[in-house]
Amino acid sequence: MKLTVVEYGVIQLEDVFNSIKLVTEKGEEMNICMRDGGFEFLYQGEWYFAKEGYVDPFRKSVRGNLLTDQNHHNESSPMCNG
């Protein structure tokens, strides 16, 4: 992991492949990590991915397991199952 302080005191992190956990005083939590070309984050118990300009919930298998291949599919795509 590479840490840099940039303009206005913003902390910039690069190559973050282990999760970072943020917790508010009231106990609200968010975990975030980098993946190939995007990000994964856990917010209030739900997993999401952010990639190629989109933020979507993780797709799950019919058994409810998180799928490892997460890509955005637009509404017209036959693979868009929500």
Query: What confidence tens digit (pLDDT) does each residue in 21-41 have?
Result: 999 999 999 999 888 778 889
What pTM was computed for the model?
Answer: 0.63
* Mean pLDDT calculated for residue range 59-68: 68
Amino acid 31: pLDDT: 93
Band (pLDDT 50/70/90 cuts) for residue 1 is confident
Amino acid 12: pLDDT: 95
Cα within 13 Å of Cα(66), Cβ side: 14
